Amino acid sequence: MLARRAKGVFVLRQHRVDDRVEGRPFDARNVPVGSEGDGLREIDLGDIRLHRPIFTYATASIIDANLYRDKNFILMQPSHLPSLKTDYRSGALVPPRIFVLRVNDREQPTSLLAHVIVEAVEVRDDDRGRSSLTLHHELILPKYSNAVRHGEAFTASYSSAGNVVCLTSAVAERGAVFMDLPDLKGQRIGTYLMDRLVGWAGQWPDAEVLPIKLQTSDASSANKERRNRFYEQFGIAFDYDDPSTRQSGVSKPMKVSALNRQDAWTKNIDFLELHEYLGDVLHRGQECASDLLARERVVRELVEEHTARERRPLRWAVGQAFRNF
């Protein structure tokens, strides 16, 4: 629940999104209100309990509810930086343009693997009836690192000409998606990105999904089954050129409404607002600095004691005997 810590700062503690509510728009004005005061209103939606400024949003929709599942989450007053503030559009909450994914090992969910920064760029051309959403993503590396800063983008688009959605590019054509974070393959980052695109495409439920083409070149023994499962989890079925090998083929015709949202990524990936990520980095830096000062103080005291022992060993020995008596 959200509780007020300081002026303009609200803290959300351990709330879980109820599957009965997830993905279904709700109107705060039609929800029983538990309490109201000091500019705050409490909303109770089963397992969801939120305090929020009553002037912030009149309604809300949990289209990206998984972003806020099972985590301590700090909400600030609306940011003045356009790229860092949560948007509100057509009754739906839209995550910030720039945010961070904290990626843990899927086999050991408490073991941190990496942080990935994501920038969502949405382009709308109403005159031409076209829209697109691109999720640029890049591995965050330490300042001094020999690792390669891998990064790529997932893109989906819509065209009113033919009423079609493409889940693989900004133009209406066949394609596929590729994950360019080699050390993080299989860690559900691609699942998160595609789920976000599928949710965005839901604006046009009656649109046709353009075919996705699978190539033999990306059907290695280590990648083929993972690649096929990746698409299938979103409800995308394929006509394989050879059903026995399932190496290449084209997706079957389908409507956007038939696509499935996925939340498997929540098992090992946490969504962080950039403020939260940077605040955590600063906090850890302060903790390290404080710990270093404490250690330096202990070392200094030990050096002083050692020096005193060398200068007056007899006096030091007597003093130790008194202290231990």
DSSP string, 224-247: HHHHHHHHHTTT--EEESSTTT--
- Number of Cβ within 10 Å of residue 115's Cβ equals 17
In the chain, domain spans: 1-86, 97-267
- Local structure of 83: helix, strand or coil: helix
Between 283 and 64, name the one with better pLDDT: 283
- Give residue-wise pLDDT tens across range 282-308: 998 999 999 999 999 999 999 988 888
Between 6 and 190, name the one with better pLDDT: 190
Which three-class secondary structure string do you get for 141-208?
Answer: CCCCCCCCCCEEEEEEEEECCCCEEECCCCCCCCECCCCCCHHHCCCCHHHHHHHHHHHHHCCCCCCE
Rounded to 5 degrees, what are φ and ψ at 305? -65, -40
Which of 34-38, 58-62, 253-257 is least confident? Answer: 58-62
pLDDT of residue 22: 35
Between 72 and 127, name the one with better pLDDT: 127
Burial of 233 (0-12, 13-18, 19+ CB in 10 A): middle
Mean pLDDT of the chain: 75
Percent of the chain with pLDDT over 90: 41
For the chain, strand residue ranges (E) read 2-6, 9-12, 25-26, 33-37, 40-45, 48-53, 60-61, 73-76, 87-89, 92-94, 98-104, 112-125, 130-139, 151-159, 164-166, 208-209, 213-214, 238-240, 249-251, 269-273
pLDDT over 80 (residue 37): no
- Give residue-wise pLDDT tens across range 148-173: 666 788 999 999 999 999 998 877 66
Q: Which fold has domain 97-267?
A: Aminopeptidase (3.40.630)
The pair of structure tokens assigned to 300 is 């200094």
Which of 6-10, 82-86, 109-113, 186-190 is least confident? Answer: 6-10
Pick from 181, 21, 208: nearest CA to 103:
181
Binning pLDDT at 50, 70 and 90, where does residue 19 land? very low
